[in-house]
């Protein structure tokens, strides 16, 4: 995919899938800004790697759950890059517990980051995208937002909310030639996943029809496609990257 000259924001781009997305966009030619909350060293390493590709890159410390910080980041990136063409909402957390043991704080933290965080950034870029009459919004959800997951009522609800948000904003921004899509990964072999007990990885693998778990690059490749001109007639869709884990 050719993203030469495009400017992108990736939330949660300092670690995990977000890093692969940020690097993938840069490899395709885009300049990339990413936010981080705690992982400053990792964020700066991603920025350096993108810079070595000859692209512009910047990291902004911003809590996605903060409406004001999201607005400020978008304004900063628009000034630094001159425009914004692509928003990838990726930042997310999990605070797992069965519903009868879940604390209010666990529910609120996940909703504030995983769902409100997406609203905050989409709200911030929407006026810019409407004015310039183009833009790509790509939301990272999860197959667990489509099927539910034991012990993850907060996480699954937040990811299901992202799907509803995606479809609604696709309707609202369509006349401005802005596409809005969601990517739903299954179990992906991030560093965090590798820390899980092998029995959980084996169980997830057994659910797939390909007999293997995905890599972060599998998600990044789809994001690149959806960010490109080749996906110009695709909007309001939820596309799984799960090796058939949820069919």
Q: What is the pLDDT of residues 32-72, one digit of tens each?
A: 999 998 889 999 999 999 999 999 999 999 999 999 999 99
Phi, psi of 73 (to 5 degrees): -65, -45
Q: Tokens 């884990």, residue?
A: 245
Average pLDDT, the chain: 96
> Using CB atoms within 10 A of its CB, is residue 5 exposed (0-12), middle (13-18) or buried (19+)?
exposed
Q: Residue 36 contacts by C-beta under 8 Å, 6 or more apart in sequence?
A: 12, 13, 14, 42, 43, 59, 60, 61, 62
Is 155 among the residues known to form the active site? yes
Rounded Cα distance between 46 and 2, Å, is 20
Rounded Cα distance between 63 and 11, Å, is 10
User: Looking at residue 51, what is its pLDDT?
Assistant: 97
- Out of 36, 118, 121, 155, pick the active-site residue: 155
Domain covering 7-241, topology: Rossmann fold (3.40.50)
Q: Is there a contact between 155 and 144 (Cβ–Cβ < 8 Å)?
A: yes
User: Looking at residue 191, what is its pLDDT?
Assistant: 83
User: Looking at residue 115, what is its pLDDT?
Assistant: 98
Average pLDDT over residues 182-202: 91
Judged against a pLDDT cut of 90, whether residue 195 lies above it is answered with: no
Rounded Cα distance between 145 and 154, Å, is 10
Query: Six-digit token pair at 115?
Result: 């769902």
Q: What is the CA radius of gyration of the chain?
A: 17
Judged against a pLDDT cut of 90, whether residue 1 lies above it is answered with: no
pLDDT band at 152 (very low <50, low <70, confident <90, very high): very high
User: Looking at residue 181, what is its pLDDT?
Assistant: 98
User: Looking at residue 176, what is its pLDDT?
Assistant: 98
Per-residue burial over 38-72, b if 16 or more Cβ lie within 10 Å, else e, is ebeebbeebbebbeeeebbbbbbebbbbbbebbbe
Per-residue burial over 194-228, b if 16 or more Cβ lie within 10 Å, else e, is eeeeeeeeeebeebbeeeebbebebbbbbbbbbbb
User: Looking at residue 193, what is its pLDDT?
Assistant: 84
Q: Dump pLDDT digits (tens) for 72-115.
A: 999 999 999 999 999 999 999 989 999 999 999 999 999 999 99
User: Looking at residue 135, what is its pLDDT?
Assistant: 98
Q: Dump pLDDT digits (tens) for 213-230.
A: 999 999 999 999 999 999
């Amino acid at each position: 995919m050719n993203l030469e000259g495009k400017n992108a924001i990736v939330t949660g781009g300092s670690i995990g899938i977000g890093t692969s997305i940020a690097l993938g966009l840069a490899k395709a030619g885009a300049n990339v800004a990413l936010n981080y909350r705690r992982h400053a060293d990792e964020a700066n390493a991603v920025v350096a790697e993108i810079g070595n590709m000859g692209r512009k890159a910047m990291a902004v410390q911003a809590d996605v759950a903060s409406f004001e910080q999201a607005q400020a980041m978008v304004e900063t990136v628009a000034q630094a890059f001159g425009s914004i063409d692509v928003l990838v909402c990726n930042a997310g957390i999990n605070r797992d517990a069965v519903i009868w043991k879940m604390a209010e704080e666990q529910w609120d933290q996940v909703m504030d980051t995983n769902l409100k965080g997406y609203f905050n950034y989409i709200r911030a870029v929407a006026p810019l995208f409407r004015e310039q009459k183009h833009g790509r919004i790509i939301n990272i959800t999860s197959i667990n937002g489509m099927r539910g997951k034991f012990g993850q009522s907060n996480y699954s609800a937040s990811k299901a909310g992202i799907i509803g948000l995606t479809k609604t904003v696709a309707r609202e921004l369509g006349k401005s030639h802005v596409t809005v899509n969601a990517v739903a990964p299954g179990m992906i072999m991030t560093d965090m996943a590798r820390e899980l007990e092998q029995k959980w990885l084996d169980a997830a693998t057994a659910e797939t029809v390909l007999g293997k778990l995905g890599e972060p690059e599998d998600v990044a490749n789809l994001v690149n496609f959806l960010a490109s001109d080749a996906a110009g007639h695709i909007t309001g869709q939820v596309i799984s990257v799960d090796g058939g884990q949820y069919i």
